[in-house]
Every structure is written in C-alpha cells, then in structure tokens.
C-alpha cells in the first residue's frame, strides 16, 4: 500500500512540474540580447557568442538590438532565428537564413540580405518596420504587416522570389524608396489587403512584380518600371499619386483591377524606350482612371485596352508621340476636360470600342491634336466622340471603319496633308469641320451628318463614294482640289446650305436633294445623276451634265450671269418651281427634254442640239435667243424640210418674248404666246388648236418660213414680217375691248376655217389688217362688231340716207380668190385690175353690235344694202336710213344676247358685177342706219356667199 501511495505522489509531482514548466514557458517574454561586437574582437559575426550581451547566439526568444554607432556591423552567416530585430544606425548583412518575427530598423539602419538566403519574417501581431536602407539579394517571405521607412533595394544574381503575404488585416508599407536592381528574373509576389508605398518605387532589370487581390495599393512616390521588367496586377485596386515611368521594355498588365492616376501637377505617366526597344501597358477587363494627370506615351510604347476595359480621364492630358500606340479593343474611353495630342506616327486605334471626349467644365479647354503622321483608327463597331477641338496636321490621319465618329459641339481641323477616311461608318459632325492645306476627307459606304459648319479650303479634297451626306448647316467648298461624289445621296436639309467654289466638282451616279440652298461657283460636272430642287440651286461658272434627271419641284434653279450650262441626254422637269438663266449665260441642250410646268425665265442664250425639245406647259419668259446648235436653219418657205424635226420648242402654256429674240428651231404653240414691244425671229412657227397669239404694239415677228396658224386666236397690235397662213385660227377676239391691228409684210392666206373679228369702237379706233403683198381668200368668216354708242352717234348726226362713214378694215396690194381652185396647195393666180375672172372666196360675214355697259351684243339685220368700191381695201360703210319694219332698229326684233352668244349669219348673195358692196341696216330709235361692207375688185365672180340685202 505504501508503494502504491508513493507512486501516486510521484505522478502528482510530475503533473505539478509539467504545469509549472508549461506556465513558465507560456508566460515567458523575449529576453534582450544586445549586439556588442567591437572591431578586432568578435569580427562582426552573429555566430560568435562573445559578440552578444548576454553572451550567446540569439534564439527565437531573443529580442536583438543593434547599435550601429557604438559597435561593428552585424553579419549573419549561418542560420539564425530571433524573435525581434531592432537596428539603430546599424549595418546588418544577412548571408545565412534568417527567421524573425519582428524587424524594426531605426535611424537609417541598413539591412542587407545576400546570396540567395531565405529570409522568413513572421509577424502576425506587430508591424515589421525598416526605417533604414534595405537591400535584398535573396528570397524573402513576409507573413504579416511590413513597413519600410527609408527604402529597399532588391538585387538579383540568381533566381529568387520575394513573397509578401498578409494573414491579418495589416498593411505592407514602404515609406521611402523601393528598388529592384541587377538583371535577372526577379519575382515579387504581393498578396495583401493593403500596400502603401510612400517613397520612390523602382522595378527594373527584368524583375517581375505580381500583385494579387490587394484591396488597396497606394503609390505616393516616384514609380519606375524599367529594363524589361514585368508588372502583373490582378484583382486589385491601385492608386498612384505621383509620377510613373514605364521605360526600356517594361511590361505592365492590369487584369480585373482598378487603377487610379491622381496627380495635381504637370507630371504623370511617362512611357518611352531607347531605339529598338518597346514597352506595353496592358489593361484587361479593368478600369484606368486619370484625374489631373499627364499620360505621356512615346518612343515605341503601347497602351492596350481590351476585354471591356474602361479608361476614364478627367482634366488630364494624353500625349502619343514617336511611334507610340493607344489600342482600344472592346473597351471604352471616357474623357472629360482632357487633352489628346498625337505626333510622330503615333496610333490611336478604337476597335469594337467607345471613345468619348467631352467637356464638363467649359472653363477647361479640351482638344485633340495629331502631328507628324500620327493616326487614329476607329474600327469594328466602335465610337469616337469628342466635345473639344480636334486638330490633324502634318500627314496625320483618322481612319474610321464600321464605327461611329462624333464631333460634338467642337471644331475639327485638318491641315497639312492630313487624311480622314470614313468607311462603312457614321460620321456625325455636330460641331465644325475646317479642312485646309491639302488635307483630304474620304467617305465610302458611310453616312455623314453635317449639323455644324463644314469648310474645305486651300487645295483640300472631299470624296464620297456610295455614301449619304446629310447637310443641316453651312458647307463651303472653297478649294482648288477636286470634290467628287460617286453613288452618293446628297441631302441638303431645310436648314442646310451647300456652297461650292471649287473649280472641280464632279457628281456621278448620285442623288442630290436640295431643300434649302445649293450654290456652285466654278467648274461643275455630273453624269448619270438626279437633282431634285425644293428651294434654291444656283450655278455660276461652267456646268456640264450628261444623262441627268433634274427636277425643280419648288424653288429655283438659277444659272448665274457669265456662266455655261451644258446638258446632254438629260430630262429637265420644272414642276412648280422656276428655271432662271441670267444675262450672258449659255444653255446648251443636246438630246435633252426640258418640260416646264412651273416658270422659266431665260436671259441667256439657249442652244438646242439635235434631239432636244423644250416643252412649256405653264410660263416661259424669254429675253434671249433659242439657237440651233447645228445651224441647220430653214431659209425658204413651208415646203422646205431642211429643219431638224428633233429640235423643237413646244408651248402649251404661256410663252412670252420680252426682248429681241431669235428662235432657230421649229416652234409649235397650242398655248399662249406673247410678243412684247420687241422683234422676234422664229425659224418655223405653227400655232395649233387652243393657242393664243398676242403681240403688243410695236412688236414684230419675222420668219423665213410661212407663219402658220392652224387654230386658236391671234390678238394684238404688231407686225408679221413674212408670209402668214391662217387655216383655222381667229384673228381678233370676242373681247370687244381689244382693238387688233396687224401689219403683214408679206402674203396672207385666209382659208375656209379661218375667221377675222373686227371690233369697231368709233371712226378712229377700230381693228385693221394691212397686207403689203397678196391677200389670198379661200372662204372663211369675217365678223364685225360695232359699239352701240357709236351707232347712236351716227344716227343723231346724220338724218338722210346718204353714206356718212367709211372705215377701212383690210388693205392689201393684190387680192386672190382661191375658192375656185381645187388644189389649195397650188399658188393661185393674182387678181389684177384687168378683166380676170377669178372668184372672191369669203364664205360668211356677220355683223353685231356690242354694249360695254351691259357686256352684251346683238346680231344685226341686213337692211339697206348698198355698194361701194375701192381699189385695194376691204371697207365698212355706214349710212342712216328709215327702218322698214318699224322695229327697234336692228331689223329682226331680237333681244340682246351676251357677247359669248352664237353669231347670226346672213344669207347668200348671188351676182356677177364689177363692184360688190355689202350693206347692213341698223334700226335705232325708229330710224335706221345702213352698214356697208365693200370689197374692191374689177371682176368679183359669181357670189359672195353669206350676204343678202333688202331692196
């Protein structure tokens, strides 16, 4: 029993000892161990126990303190562990493995790790602080917070890694410089919550720096990535407050991260390389944010934005120079109050992306400048939009393919041989575009909207192919270089204007719709195109067109003074608008049809080549000539068929001559033709049914061919110089206010369907026809209308039955009776004062009175027929007589009828006498007046068909 009791006490004793030892170990604190190496004694080796106080090599429980002012430098050659290391002005060389939980370097103490030695720093409680220069040429793994207050330089002789892990929420901070040096494949793995660099930050000489899942990395100091170094940042957030440099082949990649460049200074990011080297800044599925920052990219440097990345710039400056590139793929750039300049063959490429350059504060001027063969490429459904000025110079270019280019409320300048290409794209110019100094704008398969001012000057060129150009503002082409539109739709909106002063404007296979103003001053050519004018189109200079469709719906098409307009094989349609040619212009139409349904005012010469026709359906005012371009003029009578029938002028509207004019082509008129106080020469004229020929006093019409009236009416007071044939027209008008007087300097032929209406206002004012040559009568109708007031005056003035008044209505030199001729085309034999037996050819004579006050007329009876003779006149004789029927003076008891009523026709007269006289008796106030119509002939013939008399 006692033995068992002893055993029990023994085990109890063991448990108590274990408990005491355990508590003693757990509650133990790191003990102080100071470095006391003196030169010549300990040789500065950490492995020498004499160099420590208390004596002995530090262990994991040692709190090591190094005083670099009093004692030697500390060198670690063999593996050593310590709990903490505090260095005050000391110099520590680590040549063997070091394990330490906490490192504090005060007062610029230096810390150097050599020869690929692994330095393990475990600090889960405190912050590792290095306040002096630190040099690493070995593998370093840090677990915990880490702070450097002076600087750290990483060297690489062999393959090493520097790994920083954070197992607790504590930052890694460099308060001074952070360097990598010596060439090699140096790798940093930084996987922390927070990382602060307050000093300068250098990654150089082929080093590799990796950041993973850092919630916040702040760089406050100067940062350099140099010498083919690689910086890989993933799933992190970085903020740079200072100058950043990528140079000599550095490669910076940002993946699924956010990086801020924030700097209120003129410095920022600088990317450059020496000759032959290049570096890249890759932004992948990330955000790059610039604020008050300067992005200076040059010397073969490249920035790549891809996979839905976003570059946002505020009040910053992006500069591309010396073959540098900014490549944007499937990403976006949003730039506000930011300047973009490009030079030295640099490239900005927008691919499947969106680039917006805007102004949020108008006090800050945003602009984009391209110099020295630099280039912007916008491709694959991308958008480039800028609200500030953009300036292309020195052979620079913007290439847009399958994308959108938007100039929003800004000025766009192209200068010095710069080039803008828009292909399969949309170009919205809501600002202003100024092209100068031999620059070029080339648009293919695209749409251009011009809502701002567009000016092309000084040898600039503008080409459009298979595109649509929509103009909603001013466009001015004032250049000596070609302007070409091919397969293009040119829309000039209601608030747009197109001014072209270029000497070489060429439009082919295109459509031009003008809803406001189109002005061409220079040389203008067009083929296989359509022009639709809704408002104003003016051409000054030389115009040549072929196979064109020109339609003036409304508005004006004007050919300015001293200009030429040539249109071959064209169709020109004036619907409700006007076609105006001013003085000293030349219009040449070959194989062309011009149809006017609006108004034509022609002040310039019109040349019609074979195959051309002018059709007037509304109003045509001519103050110039219409000439035959082949000079194939007719020089004979109506039997001459030398005129080219394909050259013609057809009038179905109103055609007015307001100046001395020549028409050297055949003119057919079934509308209204007006000759003012002018001399008009028409090569061959024919008026058809429905036509109206009007001539003002002093006007004249000359033709070498027979002037043919096959229908319609002839009114006015003028002269015909040439032969006139009236087959079915009416000379005169039922409107009794018109007194028609014509002089025919030639022959006049009057056929059976022709009519002459004489209006007699009084003895001094009456219709009259003077025929200077032959008067050929082949039947027809003569209607004489007398003012009733004039008849009443005659009645009051004369009371006997003697003839009281004689009025000559027609005078002629020779009268020819063509009624007996069976062939009307045969020239009849002239009637002389000898005993010829030709017959007189008039069919009918009608007498009427008209009352102006009531606008009515009456058909008069044929009482009191007498005869009178004259040698060469057709005369009306009036005398007073007593009515035989006791009626109202008109001999038929009829009431008054409107002037438009059908005329009463007298019965036939049969006789063969030397002198034929026709008389009609009027009854007015119980008395009657005899009206005599006298035709003077030596041998009259057998009948005057329509006149009967009462004896």
The segment with the largest mean pLDDT, out of 83-92, 148-157, 240-249, 635-644, is 240-249
pLDDT of residue 906: 32
Give the residue-averaged pLDDT of 557-578.
96
248 vs 19: which has the higher pLDDT: 248
Q: Interior CA angle at 664 toward 659 and 668, to 5°? A: 90
Looking at the predicted structure, is the pLDDT value of residue 171 above 60?
Answer: no
In the numeric block, the tokens 């194989």 are attached to 591
pLDDT of residue 170: 45
pLDDT of residue 915: 32
Give the separation between CA 829 and CA 814, rounded to whole angstroms: 10
Looking at the predicted structure, is the pLDDT value of residue 638 above 50?
Answer: no
Give per-residue pLDDT as tens, 451-495.
Answer: 999 999 988 999 999 999 999 999 999 888 889 999 999 999 999
Give the residue-averaged pLDDT of 118-129.
51
Looking at the predicted structure, is the pLDDT value of residue 555 above 90?
Answer: yes
pLDDT of residue 158: 40
pLDDT of residue 548: 98
Looking at the predicted structure, is the pLDDT value of residue 576 above 80?
Answer: yes
Give per-residue pLDDT as tens, 262-314.
Answer: 876 555 767 766 545 678 889 999 998 888 887 788 778 888 988 888 888 88
Give per-residue pLDDT as tens, 656-674.
Answer: 999 999 999 999 999 999 9
Give per-residue pLDDT as tens, 55-81.
Answer: 888 888 888 887 766 677 777 777 787
Give per-residue pLDDT as tens, 700-728.
Answer: 999 999 999 999 999 999 999 999 999 99
625 vs 127: which has the higher pLDDT: 625
The CA distances from residue 909 to 67, 465, 523, 904, 943, in Å, are: 160, 81, 72, 16, 6
Give per-residue pLDDT as tens, 213-225.
Answer: 778 888 877 777 7
pLDDT of residue 863: 52
Looking at the predicted structure, is the pLDDT value of residue 2 above 80?
Answer: no
Nearest to 424 by CA among 383, 457, 387, 467: 467
pLDDT of residue 224: 79
pLDDT-based confidence at residue 157 (cuts at 50, 70, 90): very low
Give per-residue pLDDT as tens, 503-541.
Answer: 889 999 999 999 999 999 889 999 999 999 999 999 999
Residue pair 116/157 in contact (Cβ under 8 Å)? The answer is: yes
Looking at the predicted structure, is the pLDDT value of residue 209 above 50?
Answer: yes
Pairing of strands 873-881, 927-935: antiparallel
Give the residue-averaged pLDDT of 754-768.
91
877 vs 136: which has the higher pLDDT: 877
Annotate 25-68 with DSSP letters as a single string: HHT--PEEEEE---TTTTTTBTT-GGGEESSS---TTEEEEEET
Please tell me the least confidently modeled range out of 82-91, 560-569, 749-758: 82-91
Looking at the predicted structure, is the pLDDT value of residue 446 above 90?
Answer: yes
- At CB < 8 A and 24+ separation, what contacts does 629-638 make? 629/588, 629/590, 631/664, 633/664, 633/683, 633/704, 634/683, 634/684, 634/704, 634/705, 635/704, 636/704, 636/705, 637/704, 637/705, 637/706, 637/723, 638/684, 638/705, 638/706, 638/708, 638/725
Task: Tell me the three state secondary structure of residue 20.
Answer: helix
Alpha carbon of residue 216 to chain centroid: 51
Question: CA 735, 739, 745, 751 torsion: positive or negative?
Answer: positive
Looking at the predicted structure, is the pLDDT value of residue 745 above 90?
Answer: yes
pLDDT-based confidence at residue 426 (cuts at 50, 70, 90): very high
pLDDT-based confidence at residue 835 (cuts at 50, 70, 90): very low
Cβ-based neighbour number of residue 224 at 10 Å? 22
Looking at the predicted structure, is the pLDDT value of residue 393 above 60?
Answer: yes
Give the residue-averaged pLDDT of 602-622.
95
pLDDT of residue 328: 84
pLDDT of residue 839: 36
Lookup: tokens for 144: 């915990």
Q: For the chain, what's the residue count?
A: 951
The segment with the largest mean pLDDT, out of 42-51, 84-93, 244-253, 356-365, is 244-253
Looking at the predicted structure, is the pLDDT value of residue 930 above 50?
Answer: no
The segment with the largest mean pLDDT, out of 509-513, 647-651, 938-942, is 509-513
pLDDT-based confidence at residue 377 (cuts at 50, 70, 90): confident
CB-hemisphere CA count at 13 Å for 604? 23
Please tell me the least confidently modeled range out of 233-247, 455-469, 564-578: 233-247
pLDDT-based confidence at residue 147 (cuts at 50, 70, 90): low
Mean pLDDT for the chain overall:
76
φ and ψ of 19, to 5 deg: -65, -45
């Amino acid at each position: 029993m006692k033995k068992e009791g002893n055993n029990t006490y023994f085990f109890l004793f063991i448990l108590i000892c274990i408990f005491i030892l355990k508590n003693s170990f757990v509650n133990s604190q790191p003990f102080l161990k100071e470095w006391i190496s003196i030169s010549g004694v300990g040789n500065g080796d950490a492995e020498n126990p004499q160099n420590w106080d208390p004596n002995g090599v530090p262990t994991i429980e040692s709190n090591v303190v190094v005083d670099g002012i009093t004692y030697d430098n500390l060198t670690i050659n063999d593996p050593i562990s310590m709990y903490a290391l505090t260095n005050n002005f000391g110099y520590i060389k680590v040549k063997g493995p070091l394990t330490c939980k906490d490192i504090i370097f005060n007062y610029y103490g230096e810390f150097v790790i050599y020869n690929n030695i692994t330095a393990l720093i475990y600090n889960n409680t405190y912050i590792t602080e290095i306040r002096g220069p630190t040099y690493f040429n070995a593998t370093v793994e840090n677990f915990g917070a880490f702070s450097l207050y002076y600087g750290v330089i990483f060297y690489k002789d062999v393959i090493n890694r520097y790994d920083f892990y954070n197992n607790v929420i504590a930052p890694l901070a460099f308060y001074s410089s952070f360097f990598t040096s010596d060439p090699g494949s140096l790798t940093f793995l930084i996987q922390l919550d927070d990382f602060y660099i307050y000093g300068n930050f250098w990654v150089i000489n082929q080093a590799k720096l990796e950041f993973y899942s850092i919630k916040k990395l702040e760089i406050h100091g100067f940062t350099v990535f140099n010498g083919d170094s690689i910086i890989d940042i993933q799933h992190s957030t970085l903020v740079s407050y200072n100058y950043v440099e990528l140079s000599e082949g550095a490669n910076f990649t940002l993946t699924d991260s956010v990086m801020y460049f924030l700097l209120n200074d003129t410095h920022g990011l600088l990317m450059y390389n020496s000759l032959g080297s290049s570096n890249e800044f890759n932004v992948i599925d990330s955000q790059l944010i610039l604020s008050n920052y300067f992005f200076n990219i040059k010397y073969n440097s490249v920035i790549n934005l891809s996979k839905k990345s976003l570059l946002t710039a505020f009040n910053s400056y992006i500069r591309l120079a010396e073959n540098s590139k900014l490549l944007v793929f499937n990403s976006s750039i949003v730039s506000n109050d930011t300047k973009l300049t490009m030079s030295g063959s640099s490239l900005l490429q927008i691919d499947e992306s969106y680039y917006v350059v805007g102004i949020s504060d108008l006090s800050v001027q945003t602009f984009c400048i391209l110099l020295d063969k630099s280039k912007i490429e916008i491709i694959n459904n991308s958008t480039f939009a800028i609200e500030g000025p953009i300036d292309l110079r020195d052979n620079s270019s913007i290439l847009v393919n399958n994308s959108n280019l938007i100039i929003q409320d800004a000025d766009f300048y192209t200068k010095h041989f710069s080039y803008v290409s828009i292909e399969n794209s949309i170009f919205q110019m809501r600002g202003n575009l100024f092209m100068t100094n031999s620059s070029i704008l080339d648009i293919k398969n695209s749409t251009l909207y011009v809502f701002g001012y567009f000016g092309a000057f000084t040898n600039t060129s503008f080409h459009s192919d298979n595109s649509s150009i929509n103009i909603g503002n001013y466009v001015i082409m004032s250049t000596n270089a070609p302007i070409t539109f091919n397969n293009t739709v040119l829309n000039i909106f209601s608030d747009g204007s197109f001014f072209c002063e270029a000497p070489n404007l060429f439009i082919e296979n295109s459509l031009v719709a003008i809803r406001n103003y189109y002005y061409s001053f220079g040389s203008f050519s067009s083929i296989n195109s359509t022009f639709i004018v809704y408002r104003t189109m003016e051409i000054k200079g030389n115009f040549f067109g072929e196979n064109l469709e020109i339609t003036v719906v409304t508005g004006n098409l004007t050919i300015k003074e001293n200009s030429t307009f040539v249109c071959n094989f064209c169709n020109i349609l004036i619907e409700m608008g006007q076609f105006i040619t001013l003085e000293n212009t030349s219009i040449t139409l070959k194989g062309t049809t011009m149809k006017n349904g609006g108004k034509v005012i022609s002040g310039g010469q019109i040349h019609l080549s074979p195959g051309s026709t002018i059709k007037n359906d509304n109003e045509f005012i001519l103050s110039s000539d219409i000439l035959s371009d082949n000079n194939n003029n007719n020089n004979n009578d109506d039997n001459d068929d030398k005129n080219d029938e394909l050259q013609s002028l057809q009038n179905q509207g109103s055609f007015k001559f307001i100046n001395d004019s020549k028409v050297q082509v055949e003119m057919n008129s079934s509308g209204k033709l007006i000759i003012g106080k002018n001399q008009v020469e028409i090569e061959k004229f024919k008026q058809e049914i429905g036509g109206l020929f009007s001539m003002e006093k002093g006007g004249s019409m000359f033709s070498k061919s027979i002037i043919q009236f096959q229908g319609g009416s002839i009114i006015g007071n003028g002269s015909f110089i040439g032969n006139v044939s009236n087959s079915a027209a009416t000379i005169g008008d039922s409107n009794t206010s018109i007194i028609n007087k014509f002089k025919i300097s030639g022959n006049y032929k009057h056929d059976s369907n022709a009519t002459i209406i004489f209006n007699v206002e009084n003895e001094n004012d009456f219709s009259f026809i003077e025929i200077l040559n032959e008067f050929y009568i082949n039947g027809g109708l003569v209607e004489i209308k007398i003012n009733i007031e004039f008849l009443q005056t005659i009645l009051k003035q004369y009371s006997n039955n003697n003839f009281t008044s004689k009025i000559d209505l027609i005078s002629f030199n020779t009268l020819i009776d063509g009624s007996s001729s069976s062939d009307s085309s045969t020239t009849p034999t002239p009637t002389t004062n000898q005993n010829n037996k030709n017959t007189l050819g008039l069919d009918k004579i009608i007498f009427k009175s008209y009352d102006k006050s009531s606008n009515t007329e009456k058909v008069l009876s044929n009482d009191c027929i007498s005869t009178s003779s004259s040698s060469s006149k057709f005369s009306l004789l009036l005398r007073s007589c007593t009515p035989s029927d006791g009626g109202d003076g008109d001999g038929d008891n009829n009431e008054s009828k409107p002037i438009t009523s059908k005329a009463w026709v007298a019965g036939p007269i049969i006789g063969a006498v030397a002198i034929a006289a026709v008389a009609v008796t009027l009854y007015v106030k119980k008395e009657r007046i005899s009206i005599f119509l006298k035709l003077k002939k030596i041998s009259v013939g057998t009948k005057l068909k329509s006149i009967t008399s009462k004896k």
